[in-house]
Structure 1
Amino acid sequence: MISLNKIKTYEYITALVAAFPLLGQKGSVYVIIIWSIYSLFIAIKLKSFRPDRKDIIDILILSSLYLAYTISYFFATDKHEVGKLLERALPFLLFPIFMIINKYLINEKTRMLTMRVFSFSCIVLCLYVWTVIFSQGIEKVFKSDDYYNPVIRNIFSDTTGMHLPYLGMLFVFAALLFLYDLLSVKGKSFIFYIIRLLSIVFLLFSVAAFMARMALFIFVIVGIFFCLKKIRSAKQLIGIGIIGIIIVGSVLMLPSSQRRINESLSAKYELPHAGQSSEEVNFRYGVYHCVKEILSEYWLTGVGVDNVQKKLDECYSSYTYRNSDDYMHTTYNSHNQYFDIMLKYGIVGLILFVISLLWGVKTKDTVYQGFLIVIFIALLSENVFSRQAGIVFFTFFNTLFFVTTRRHKKGLE
């Protein structure tokens, strides 16, 4: 038998992993290592390291992308490149293995604590960034912010150490968790609702300030989904209306938001070429053109894990646009995770990848459903699994929700 204190410790360490936005890249790596070692220790103590057939299938499906990378390593020409990918993608293997073999210790209480730690860490991180902005003079920061000197975006990125589309995704998911609380919990005090409402507004205002457009779109879509599922009273409807006004007002009034909207509206669908200034270049259009060119030839088999960027760079070299941010000076990936998988493994690889994402989709758990919508939309505009923040966010919460949902379904709570 294992003591109650050790079980509690496991619960707290699991929740601590969810503080990865605040811990930063190095801090989250250390915590995941500690969590993995303790998970193994718990599994040995409970003798739960022999998963049944269903558990093995679940582990294989949830970690299938990592297994695909492992197989690719043996066929790759550039093994160093694939090796780096394997190191970065290790959470795809660790979380499914250890959460599933310790599934009897991961319950609804663990899940609730974990979501609160994540939401709180996002709020603290956001507060810290605004402290930096105020220390530099908020009026000065907003006045000096322009296309060639996006001060606000740079402060958020440099202070958090995170690529802004990923930061926006994390902040928006935290805001969605607060929204779910507002819509679900009954009989709480007025202060309870005000704190959550202010938290949502604060996070969304911040996302609007550094204008992660897809993140705001995700909030609208999943927010509507939550409302259709949970809204029951006029008070809730008023709260949602306030949030909607704040989003629209922030997007329309903040200079950084206005600039990004204007960029989108004025974007020309033409390939990058000489004579264009930086703000005239539609970089994504250039990227997607090359993706299309490569897939037109390799749609069935892909080009291999270690050849994707090489093939893209070969295509980019035909563009005559030259500047410090051109395709020769900056590495531009496919900016779409589905494209990235298809470039690596072809159409069959893409189908298997989508199946792995949908493995827990039959759940009736509204939060899990909302999380999957967040991921499916986010993958459309970013290679979410090319950076540690995206990998940890997806693998940790996807496995946590999957395990707790299966426990509930089997009546194990």
Structure 2
Amino acid sequence: MGTTYDFSRNAMLKKIGLSLGKKPLVFFISAVLVTLPLGYATNSVALILFVLYSILSAKKDNMSFNFALLLPLLLYGLMAISLVWSIDSKETLKALGKEAALLFIPLAFCFNKHFIKMGLNAILKNYSVGMCLFGFYYIGRAIIRYSETNNPDVFFYHELATPAVNAIYLSALFSIPLFYFLAVKRKAFWDFATIAYLLVFIFLLSSKTVIIIDVLLIVIYLLFYSPMPKKAKMVSGAVLVVLIAVLGYFGKIKERLVVEYEPNITTVVKKTDEGVINNLSIKDAWSKPEFSENDYFNGTAFRVYQVRIFKEMLTEDPMIFTGYGLNASLKKIQEKGIENGVYQGDGLNKGYNTQNFHNQYIETFADLGVFGFLLLIVLLLLNFKNAIKGKDFVHIAFAILMIALLLTESFLWRQRGIVFFTMFYCLFNALVPKISEKEKI
């Protein structure tokens, strides 16, 4: 029976022009990662093809499983079970489709882990080159828009990113290629040029969290991982400092930092055509009894406000062990927004009460309870532990970036974010035995 199945499966693959082995798997995984900046439909098709090929090409000798691959499956299982007690079953059911990567990607890795292990470096290279090409597209698009509008804002933040993906998510997608080229042992001129290009592009995207983490990781690499002589490290460090200072001064970073911290120093009131806008401080966001339609939350103040309402939810509802259900906490956020009088939005702008927690740790606790929160913590810590143990800088950078980014974004509650995280998590943590030195960069 097994021989007959293998024969028919091989015949099916040959019929569509594919064969068993490393190269097709490298292609399909690379396709899933490279299509992340595109629309969800394109990325979903690439993901389905990867999973189908993994099933069709699976061999008993290549199948294996480990604890690291079990954790995403357990997290998805808890998401599915939360449908039973969800306060918004329609939203939970809808979200389960977006989160399906947590189920299918680890299973696909179990089928062909050996071939995937052999192709890790090729996958990272393909993805990094693909993102560099996307960067040229975004910059070219910005140049065309600038020629039409004469507005320099098109080169920064969400204006630089397409409507399909916001600047923060795009910054995360471009950070892995930055670390990949940074970790190349014998760098040529083009490697250094690509590092500078990616760093400039990430600065243009103006995500404060990602920029801070990326700069810290570059410093860590220069201090502890770079094979360069001491003088070369000092020169590289000096160039990095100058580049950061220039990009920070002339870009939108300085402007965004002022917007974030000015309300905490002095009262900021702005007059617009719609009326007077009051920029809230962190203290206001945490303790102000009621808000008005004219109260403006900057990024930090808004996240403090969301921590505040989560604290209120914990005291008001019996949801510590179960949560409200996957993606169902948004219903409670909306209720809290109406209760507190925050801006409700209009036809053009989103209201504060329609946005999620912007913190994956709080989001997971609110939706899945303490057990979901603990599962997420174990998953992230295991990823970090394996990164340190493996001494792979790209893996270390990925682990630190995710731990930090989840503090300011509900990254895993978005299809693009969960595919990005799960794919790289499985690539790095499913590799047993460890890759040899010859297979490294």
Once residues 127 and 301 of structure 1 are traced to their aligned partners in structure 2, the CA distance between those partners, rounded to angstroms, is 47
Once residues 356 and 349 of structure 1 are traced to their aligned partners in structure 2, the CA distance between those partners, rounded to angstroms, is 11
Q: 1:81 aligns with which of 81, 87, 91?
A: 91
Q: 1:39 aligns with which of 51, 54, 57?
A: 54
Q: 1:253 to 1:67 in 2, by over 3 A?
A: same
Once residues 280 and 371 of structure 1 are traced to their aligned partners in structure 2, the CA distance between those partners, rounded to angstroms, is 27
The equivalences for 1:5-404 within 5 A come to 5-7=19-21, 8-43=23-58, 46-47=59-60, 51=64, 55=65, 57-108=67-118, 110-137=119-146, 141-143=150-152, 145=153, 152-158=156-162, 161-181=164-184, 185-186=185-186, 192=188, 194-232=189-227, 233=229, 234-254=231-251, 256-267=252-263, 268-269=281-282, 270-271=284-285, 273-274=291-292, 276=294, 278=296, 282-297=301-316, 298=318, 300-306=320-326, 307-322=328-343, 324=345, 328=351, 331-360=354-383, 361-362=385-386, 363-366=389-392, 367-404=394-431
Give, in angstroms, the shift of residue 178 of structure 1: 1.5
RMSD: 3.0
Contact 2:32 2:47 in 1 (8 A): yes
**Does 30-39 or 258-267 show the bigger shift?**
258-267
Give, in angstroms, the shift of residue 75 of structure 1: 3.3
Contact 1:210 1:257 in 2 (8 A): no
How many residue pairs were aligned? 391
Once residues 176 and 223 of structure 2 are traced to their aligned partners in structure 1, the CA distance between those partners, rounded to angstroms, is 18
Q: 1:172 to 1:9 in 2, by over 3 A?
A: closer
Task: Compute the TM-score of the two structures, normalised by the length of structure 2.
Answer: 0.80
Rg larger for? 2
Once residues 244 and 258 of structure 1 are traced to their aligned partners in structure 2, the CA distance between those partners, rounded to angstroms, is 15
Q: 1:180 to 1:295 in 2, by over 3 A?
A: farther
Question: Residue 408 of structure 2 aligns to a residue in which SS?
Answer: coil
Question: Residue 434 of structure 2 aligns to a residue in which SS?
Answer: helix
Give, in angstroms, the shift of residue 198 of structure 1: 2.2
Contact 1:168 1:215 in 2 (8 A): yes
Task: Render the CA deviation track for 1:212-240: whole Å, top value 9, x for unaligned.
Answer: 11110110222233223312323344234
Question: Which consecutive residues of structure 1, in runs of 5 or more, have no partner in the other structure?
Answer: none
Give, in angstroms, the shift of residue 348 of structure 1: 3.4
Give, in angstroms, the shift of residue 377 of structure 1: 0.6
Give, in angstroms, the shift of residue 331 of structure 1: 1.8
Give, in angstroms, the shift of residue 251 of structure 1: 1.3
Q: Decide which structure has greater helix share.
A: 1
Q: 1:303 to 1:258 in 2, by over 3 A?
A: same
Residue type matched to 2:161 in 1? S
Large movers: runs of 4+ above 6 Å: 1-4
Task: Compute the TM-score of the two structures, normalised by the length of structure 1.
Answer: 0.85
Give, in angstroms, the shift of residue 172 of structure 1: 2.0
Contact 1:197 1:239 in 2 (8 A): no
Residue type matched to 2:78 in 1? A
Contact 2:36 2:420 in 1 (8 A): no
